[in-house]
Amino acid sequence: MGKLIVISGPSGAGKGTIVKALLEIYKKNNQKVHLSVSATSRLPREGEVEGVSYYFISEADFLEKIEEGAFLEYNMYGTGKYYGTLKSHVFEYLDNDYDVILEIDINGYKQVISNYPDAVGIFVAPPSLEVLEQRLRDRGTETEENIKKRLETAKTEMENKEIYPNIVINEDGKVMEAAEEIYKIIKSDLVK
């Protein structure tokens, strides 16, 4: 049986970049890993591929799956659309000795832990909120209003990071070091 790994952190902390580096470490070490694909009730955007970007299902089907208890975690976001992780998808890989990585928010992590207490929780944090703000601004993709919203959300997430047994600081220019630290946490026999 593989390990279920939940990686969370504020927007701009570098989760996605670290996860890509982590997948490369697994590949280099010939280890089985799968990055979980979420289901969503929203329509596909141009270039998105079913089963690769998301599993696209209707809102009615999503609600039915909620009733059936088919999700490890789910949430509705500001867009009024649902996003979630299907248990069947995750357990198919875990049962075949793959480590499965979920890149989800704190609310999702809380749900996962209540459904699967053996999950490995890792919070990726920036060195400071000031560094995080600079990263968001440097992206050049966010409006001032969105930056402020993301920083408010980040502040709340940072205040609640202690619910994670493992916290990794993503220092500027040290993505590979952060990914290696996460890999060591996952592969440790003493994993929390």
Enclosing domain of residue 141: 4-187
In a domain, 11, yes or no: yes
Q: 79, exposed or middle or buried, with CB in 10 Å at 0-12, 13-18, 19+?
A: exposed
In a domain, 192, yes or no: no
In a domain, 175, yes or no: yes
CATH of the domain at 25: 3.40.50.300
In a domain, 98, yes or no: yes
In a domain, 32, yes or no: yes
Helix (H) or strand (E) holding 85: strand 82-86
In a domain, 87, yes or no: yes
Domain count, the chain: 1
In a domain, 26, yes or no: yes
pTM comes to: 0.88
In a domain, 95, yes or no: yes
Q: What is the pLDDT of residues 65-91, one digit of tens each?
A: 999 999 999 998 767 899 999 999 999
3-state secondary structure 96-145: CCCEEEEECCHHHHHHHHHHCCCCEEEEEECCCHHHHHHHHHHHCCCCHH
Among candidates 39, 121, 120, 48, which has minimal Cα distance to 86? 39
pLDDT in tens, the chain (192 residues): 999 999 999 888 889 999 999 999 999 999 999 999 999 999 888 888 898 889 999 999 999 999 999 999 999 876 789 999 999 999 999 999 999 999 999 999 999 999 999 999 999 999 888 888 888 888 877 788 888 888 888 898 999 999 999 999 999 889 999 999 999 999 986 554
How far apart are the C-alpha atoms of 114 and 37, rounded to whole Å? 20
How far apart are the C-alpha atoms of 84 and 107, rounded to whole Å? 11
